[in-house]
């Protein structure tokens, strides 16, 4: 009878297909009201001298059942894990999805390089509007109505007294109106001129600079700009100052560096001169100080402005400015 029990159990174990089936079977044999439990309880009703032998048989069977249940359980768990791994499988041989990363536009790259150099010299960074009043773009900068820079061919007029700024110099006036000296800042941004060919686009970028305090001289202008140009183009780059004219600076200068493409020998880019014009600068015209309410007897200062595209073209040897704004990814990827 006890041998039959073993056989029935093995048959039933055979038909177990899941962990739930197995748990039911376990209860059926080993549970509180299970078959084996009942057998053990019934020991008390058999003659005492038969008990040890019979008891041993039941315990053997109990152990047998426990072992079988255990091994079936680990087998079922293994199968389940296998199924699970298969269903949420991760195919590591599948090629991944690639995200293409953008990168800094060459113009922004040069802008940050220049900004970094001036910030390290203690300049702050200011901004001004691109749609600007005629007053700030021209009038306050000592550019009268009949000045050639106001020619309709150069300036985009929105109305009689609103323009797209043609340079970043109006930021000088806006900042000085708001603040008492000393001031020391740069102002990067977009500017607009009605002009288009391989070296001109209707929109381009400039960086303005202004430093005003008591006792600022042309030596300060030279020192700051030379330090900047040497960091930007290399410590041995020759720098020269040429007399020039801007209505809002007096005296004014144009600043050249030795041609970085031919090292001063003379080439197509420097038109054989060995020099490249990099920026305009000068001592702030007292008329501008008067317009913003600074006393020109007490304060002096210098200003400078440079075109970013031109610097980027020289640094990266690019011969057509329009490439910067066509957004051809093959071009932009190179920087």
Q: Which residues bind ligand PHE (CB under 6 A)?
A: 167, 169, 208, 246, 249, 280-282, 303-305
3-state secondary structure of 19: helix
DSSP state of 110: H
The set of residues, in sequence order, having a beta carbon less than 8 Å from that of 237 and lying 6+ positions away, is 229, 230, 257, 258, 260
Least separation in angstroms between CB 155 and ligand PHE: 12
Q: Rounded to the nearest whole angstrom, what is the least distance from the CB of residue 117 to ligand PHE in the complex?
A: 17
Could you identify the residue written with the tokens 């309709």? Answer: 152
In angstroms, give the least distance from the CB of 131 to ligand PHE.
17
Q: State the CB neighbour count (10 A cutoff) for residue 5.
A: 18
Estimate the crossing angle of helix 106-120 against helix 218-233, to 10 degrees.
130
Q: How far is the CB of 149 from ligand PHE (least distance, A)?
A: 8
Please spell the DSSP secondary structure of 93-105, one letter per residue. Answer: TSPPPPPPPP---
Query: Where are the extended beta strands (E) located within 117-202?
Result: 124-125, 131-133, 157-159, 162-164, 183-192
- Smallest gap from Cβ 249 to ligand PHE, in A, equals 5
CB closer to ligand PHE, 303 vs 308: 303
Q: What is the CA radius of gyration of the chain?
A: 43
Nearer to ligand PHE, 188 or 305 (CB): 305
Which residue of this chain has its Cβ atom nearest to ligand PHE in the complex? 305
Question: Minimum distance between the CB of residue 167 and ligand PHE, rounded to whole angstroms?
Answer: 3
Cβ density class 62-74: b for 16+ within 10 Å, e for less? beebeebbeebee
CB 248 within 8 A of CB 303: yes
The token duo for 40 is 């053990």
Bridge partners, residue 307, by sequence: 206
47 versus 243: smaller Cβ distance to ligand PHE: 243
Rounded to the nearest 5 percent, the helix, strand and coil shares of the chain are: 45, 20, 35
Closest separation between CB of residue 283 and ligand PHE, Å? 9
User: Which of residues 61 and 133 has its CB atom nearest to ligand PHE in the complex?
Assistant: 133
Tell me whether residue 50 or residue 177 sits nearer to ligand PHE (CB atom). Answer: 177
Q: Which is nearer to ligand PHE, 36 or 303 (CB)?
A: 303
Closest CB to ligand PHE among 128 and 305?
Answer: 305
């Amino acid at each position: 009878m006890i041998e039959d029990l073993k056989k029935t159990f093995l048959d039933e174990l055979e038909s177990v297909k899941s962990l739930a089936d197995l748990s039911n079977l376990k209860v059926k044999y080993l549970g509180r009201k299970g078959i084996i439990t009942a057998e053990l309880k019934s020991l008390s009703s058999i003659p005492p001298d038969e008990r040890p032998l019979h008891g041993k048989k039941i315990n053997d069977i109990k152990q047998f059942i426990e072992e079988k249940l255990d091994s079936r359980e680990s087998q079922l768990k293994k199968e389940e894990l296998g199924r699970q791994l298969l269903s949420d499988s991760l195919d590591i041989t599948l090629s991944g999805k690639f995200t293409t990363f953008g990168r800094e536009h060459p113009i922004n790259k040069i802008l940050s390089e220049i900004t970094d150099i001036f910030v390290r010299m203690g300049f702050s960074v200011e901004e001004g509007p691109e749609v600007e009043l005629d007053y700030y773009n021209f009038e306050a900068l000592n550019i009268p109505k009949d000045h050639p820079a106001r020619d309709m061919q150069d300036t985009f007029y929105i109305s009689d007294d609103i323009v797209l700024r043609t340079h970043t110099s109006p930021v000088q006036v806006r900042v000085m109106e708001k603040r008492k000296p000393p001031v020391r800042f740069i102002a990067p941004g977009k500017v607009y001129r009605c002009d288009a060919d391989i070296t001109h686009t209707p929109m381009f970028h400039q960086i303005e600079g202004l430093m005003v305090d008591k006792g600022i001289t042309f030596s300060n202008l030279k020192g700051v700009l030379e330090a900047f140009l040497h960091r930007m183009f290399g410590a041995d780059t020759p720098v020269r100052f040429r007399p020039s004219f801007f209505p809002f600076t007096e005296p004014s200068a144009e600043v050249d560096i030795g041609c970085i493409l031919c090292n001063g020998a003379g080439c197509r880019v420097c038109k054989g001169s060995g020099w490249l014009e990099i920026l305009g600068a000068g001592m702030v015209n007292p008329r501008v100080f008067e317009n913003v309410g600074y006393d020109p007897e007490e304060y002096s200062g210098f200003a400078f402005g440079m075109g970013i595209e031109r610097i980027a073209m020289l640094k990266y040897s690019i011969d057509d400015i329009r490439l910067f704004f066509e957004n051809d990814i093959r071009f932009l990827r190179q920087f």
